[in-house]
């Protein structure tokens, strides 16, 4: 596979396939080039390389981290990731990446079941006095999870029902809006449990977020410094 350095300004064309590159609609903001970033959620690798159709996204993306965005050529193409090359770990389905969108490619799964999916990022701000978060399940086990988004000031008690329930491995939920009030930033707590369980959180992290923040929460296997990883979408 031929790899080239990424030019920083290109027009991309893109139409999102129903599988692999789905999720919320991206903001069509005229004049802003579409871009792709890559999250290394492979639990049994070190730093990886990632590319899109031969254009490099990142050279050394550590487990549990995201690369910067990169602009791409206009083409029907695949996302790839590897260690010794750019495609020896996983290759996504081929698709056309659409104009004026931003995407998050996520490589997940252990050896023998590695996959890459591509999420279309919603780029609009969340509502006033709210944050909007969605969950991508990159955990090897269990097969599905529930997530609770709460204000840290609300304490340890869980709400009566999850913010998002039954997110299956390799998929993303819709965005959930959490009211955080007018005083910002506010500490937001993210807790992930096996679906149907309310004990022994798989992941528990508190972050300081400002009103109107929109982001993707990625549930990761053990070994990542930041679990879950949270990446901003409206930037």
Task: Examine domains 1-123 and 130-232 and report if their fold is the same.
Answer: yes
Q: Which CATH number fits domain 130-232: 2.60.40, 3.90.930, 1.10.287, 3.40.720?
A: 2.60.40
Q: Using CB atoms within 10 A of its CB, is residue 8 exposed (0-12), middle (13-18) or buried (19+)? A: exposed
31 pLDDT above the threshold of 70: no
pLDDT digits over 75-105, tens only? 678 999 999 999 999 999 987 778 788 899 9
Q: What is the pLDDT of residues 54-73, one digit of tens each?
A: 889 999 999 999 999 998 76
% residues pLDDT > 70 (the chain): 85
What b/e sequence results for 65-84 when a residue is b if at least 16 CB atoms lie within 10 Å of its CB, and e otherwise? Answer: bbbebbbbbebebbbbbbee
Domain definitions of the chain by residue range: 1-123, 130-232
Residue 38 has pLDDT above 90, yes or no: yes
How far apart CA 15 and CA 70 sit, in angstroms, is 18
Structure tokens at 130: 């709210």
- Quick: pLDDT tens for 205-223: 999 999 999 999 999 998 8
- Check pLDDT > 50 for residue 21: no
CATH of domain 1-123: 2.60.40
With CA atoms as reference, report the closest residue to 198 among 223, 163, 153: 163
């Amino acid at each position: 596979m031929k790899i080239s350095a990424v030019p920083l300004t290109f027009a991309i064309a893109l139409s999102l396939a129903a599988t692999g590159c789905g999720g919320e609609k991206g903001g069509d903001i005229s004049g802003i080039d579409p871009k792709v970033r890559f999250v290394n959620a492979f639990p049994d690798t070190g730093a990886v390389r990632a590319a899109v159709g031969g254009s490099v996204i990142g050279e050394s993306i550590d487990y549990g981290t995201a690369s910067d965005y990169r602009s791409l050529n206009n083409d029907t193409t695949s996302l790839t990731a590897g260690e010794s090359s750019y495609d020896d770990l996983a290759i996504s389905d081929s698709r056309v990446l659409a104009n004026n969108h931003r995407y998050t490619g996520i490589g997940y799964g252990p050896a023998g079941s590695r996959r890459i999916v591509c999420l279309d990022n919603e780029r609009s701000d969340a509502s006033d006095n709210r944050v909007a978060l969605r969950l991508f399940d990159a955990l090897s086990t269990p097969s599905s999870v529930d997530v609770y988004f709460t204000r840290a000031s609300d304490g340890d008690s869980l709400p009566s029902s999850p913010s998002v329930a039954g997110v299956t491995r390799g998929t993303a939920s819709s965005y959930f809006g959490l009211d955080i009030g007018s005083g910002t930033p506010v500490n937001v707590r993210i807790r992930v449990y096996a679906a149907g369980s309310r004990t022994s959180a798989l992941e528990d992290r508190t972050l300081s977020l400002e009103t109107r923040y929109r982001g993707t929460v990625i549930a990761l296997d053990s070994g990542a410094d930041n679990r879950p990883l949270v990446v901003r979408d409206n930037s």
